[in-house]
Amino acid sequence: MSKPIFQLKDVVKTVYPNGSKPLNILDHINLDIFPGDFITILGTNGAGKSTLFNAIGGNLPITSGNVLLNDKDITKTSVTKRTRFLSRVFQDPKLGTAPRMTVAENLLLAEKRGQHRLLKPRHLKREMPKYKQITSQLHNNLSNRLNTPTGNLSGGQRQTLSFLMATIKKPEILLLDEHTAALDPNTSQELMNLTNQTVSNQHLTCLMITHHLDDALKYGNRLIVLNHGQVEHDIQGADKANLTKDQLYQFFDPQQ
Ligand SMILES: Nc1ncnc2c1ncn2[C@@H]1O[C@H](COP(=O)(O)OP(=O)(O)OP(=O)(O)O)[C@@H](O)[C@H]1O
C-alpha cells in the first residue's frame, strides 16, 4: 500500500458557544488520505464538514493534533502557503474568482499560484489557445467569454471557472465544498462529470463534501460520514463500490 499523502492525527477543534462549556467540533479526527483517493464526505448540518476543510486548508487553527503533508508537519503553515499545494472550491460561485479580472486573467493568475504574480499581456496571449481548450469542456459558452470580467458571468460559468482555476496547476489536495450545490440540475451534472474526469485523468487526491447521496455513492473510491465532529464511517474499495442508498440512509437514521 502507498504512503499517505495527507494525514490528520488526533485533530481536535474546541469552541465555546456563547461562552458556555467547551464543545469539540472536530473530535479526535484521525485520517490517512492516500494519493489518488477521491473521498466523498457526508454528514448532517453542523456535523463538522466545513470545519474539517478549514482544518485541512489552514483557515482555522486547530486546538490540538497535527496535520501532515507527505510526512511533513504543516499544522502551523498559513493558508497562503498551503495554497501552493492545496486548492479549494466553495459552494458560492462568487468566492473563487476576482470579479473585475477577465476569465483569461483569472486562469493565468491561478497558473502562477505560488510564484511571482506579475500578469504580463504577452503571457496571456501565449496561453489563450490553452484557455480556449479547457473552457470548451462544458457547453456553457465560457470559452467565448475569455475576455469578459468574471463578475459578468452566470453562476454556472463562474463555478466552472473556479473549478478550472483550482485544477489548472495540479494541486496535491483538492477540496470541493458542495461546489455544485448552487447550480441548476443540468449545470450541476455537467460540472460533476468534469470533476470526475479531471480527478481521474490527473490522478488528483480529492475530498468532496456533498449533500447528494447519489453523488456520494456514484463518485469516488471512498466515502466518509461525519457526525458530531467524528469520523463515524469510512468506507473504501469494494465496500464503497457495493454500498447502496438504503445502507446510506441507515447511517442517518436516528434510531441506529
Ligand atoms: N468558529 C466557530 N466557532 C464556534 N462554533 C463553530 C465555529 N465554526 C463552526 N462552528 C460550529 O461547529 C459545528 C460544525 O460546523 P460546520 O460548518 O463544520 O458544519 P457542516 O457539517 O459543514 O454543516 P453544513 O452542512 O450546515 O454546512 C456547527 O455547530 C457550527 O455552528
Pocket mutation for ligand 1, best pick of 13, 42, 51 (most atoms within 8 Å of C-beta): 51
- Residue 46 Cβ contacting ligand 1 at under 6 Å: yes
Q: How far apart are CA 112 and CA 19, in angstroms?
A: 43
Q: Over 90: is that where the pLDDT of 94 sits?
A: no
Q: Which helix (H) or strand (E) holds 209?
A: strand 206-209
Which ipTM did the prediction report?
0.94
40: its cell numbers? 466523498
Pocket mutation for ligand 1, best pick of 23, 29, 49 (most atoms within 8 Å of C-beta): 49
In the prediction, which pLDDT does 118 show? 64
Per DSSP, 143 falls in state G
Distance 184 CA to ligand 1 centre (A): 25
Distance 236 CA to ligand 1 centre (A): 26
| 256 pLDDT tier (thresholds 50, 70, 90) | low
- Residue 45 Cβ contacting ligand 1 at under 6 Å: yes
HEC secondary structure over 43-72: CCCCCCHHHHHHHHHCCCCCCEEEEEECCE
> What domains can you pick out in the chain, each with its CATH number?
1-85+171-256 (3.40.50.300), 86-169 (3.40.50.300)
Per residue in 116-158, pLDDT tens?
A: 656 667 778 889 999 999 999 888 999 999 999 999 999 899 9
Q: How far apart are CA 150 and CA 158, in angstroms?
A: 7
Q: Which amino acid belongs to residue 216?
A: A
Pocket mutation for ligand 1, best pick of 27, 29, 44, 50 (most atoms within 8 Å of C-beta): 50
Query: For residue 67, how many other CB atoms are within 10 A of its CB?
Result: 22
